[in-house]
Amino acid sequence: MMLVSHLVFGAVAGAVVAHFHISPLWLSMPLAMGGALLPDIDHPKSALGSRVRPVSTLIAKVFGHRGLTHSLLAVLGLSWLLLHLSGHKIASSTLAPLLAGYLSHLLADGLTPMGVPLFWPVRVPVRFPLTVRTGSAAEKLLTLAVVVGSCWWLGPHY
């Protein structure tokens, strides 16, 4: 998926977290959008990967693109890391949108023909039956539909 699609999916994930009163919208949306960029740290040319190139290059060489960082194991690892780095003081209002954004990235990439290795190290790709190619008109239409659908569902609540 393209960067803008991941940002849109992340924003929607943040709005959903805010909808359930776990985190205020002003905090939830940017955190979820940031979380939605994290999995592509395994690609040196991605928005995040290009900013931390030594790290992204290393991750790409060891695990490949859409490897470990696109799995549920990474979600658990990120949770564990954030909890331990914060001395278990990270608020759910911070952790929940970050993880929701991260999961939104896995969901979005699961909508592409390549899928995601959700159960990595088992490298069986998980993908939806209906997929869209990255950068295609179908992806742009899907992203627009997500925006319209989330505004229709969540809009009246804000």
Q: State in angstroms the smallest separation of the CB of 151 from Zn ion.
A: 25
State the number of binding residues for Zn ion (CB under 5 A): 3
Q: Which stretch binds Zn ion (CB under 5 A): 16-24, 40-48, 118-126, 146-154?
A: 40-48
Q: Out of 109, 111, 117, 142, point to the residue binding Zn ion (CB under 5 A).
A: 109
Q: Does 139 bind Zn ion (CB under 5 A)?
A: no
Identify which of residues 14 and 39 has a Cβ nearer to Zn ion in the complex: 39
Identify which of residues 14 and 115 has a Cβ nearer to Zn ion in the complex: 115
Burial readout 17-48 (b: 16 or more C-beta within 10 A, e: otherwise): bbeeebbebebbbebbbbbbbbbbbbbbebeb
127 neighbors 112 (Cβ within 8 angstroms): yes
Q: Does 42 bind Zn ion (CB under 5 A)?
A: no
Q: Cα(57)–Cα(45) distance, rounded to whole angstroms?
A: 9
Q: State in angstroms the smallest separation of the CB of 40 from Zn ion.
A: 4
71 neighbors 117 (Cβ within 8 angstroms): yes
Q: Cα(122)–Cα(103) distance, rounded to whole angstroms?
A: 18
Which residue ranges make up the site for Zn ion (CB under 5 A)? Answer: 39-40, 109
